[in-house]
Amino acid sequence: MRFLKSRIADSSRALLGPLEITVMELLWEHGESSVHDVVPKLARPLAYTTVMTTLDRLYKKGLLDRRKSERAFVYAPRLSRREWEHKRTGDFVAGFLAAPQTSGEMLVSCLVEAVGQQDEALLDELEKKIRMKRKELCRRGKP
């Protein structure tokens, strides 16, 4: 279980740093913003150029769209928070499953254990989704 938690933490840290996550949260909450809009909303004072560099990095990572407005860029999230979390989780699981066969077995085992400890209703939902996926695969002719 600890192994799975550390893999999740490592995968999300590799994608975004703490300031990048904070900036994304602000953009998800407030929508389209310029550097000038973001700087005062941060919990700690940061240089304008630091925020500008962070927004540019997020744009280059494909997480933000930007457009020119007068002499400044205005940034907006390319994905909603939910879409980003779905992509990040999907990338993590795909990476885990690309490893040797035992990693896939460990992933499933840890997932069932973690879900079972947190929420029995969610465990029922997981079982329901598995049944639905099996039916879908059978309809496509995949056993």
User: Could you tell me the residue ranges of all domains in the chain?
Assistant: 2-81, 101-143
Q: Which residues of the chain have pLDDT under 50?
A: 1-14
Q: Give CB contacts under 8 A, 24+ apart, made by 109-113.
A: 110/1, 110/3, 110/4, 111/4, 113/1
pLDDT of residue 142: 63
Q: How far is CA 28 from CA 76, 81, 83, 102, in A?
A: 8, 7, 11, 37
Domain range 2-81, its CATH number among 3.40.50.11900, 2.60.40.420, 1.10.10.10, 2.60.120.260 = 1.10.10.10
pLDDT of residue 107: 82
Residue with token string 């069932």: 112
pLDDT of residue 24: 97
Q: Which residues pair with 69 in a beta bridge?
A: 72
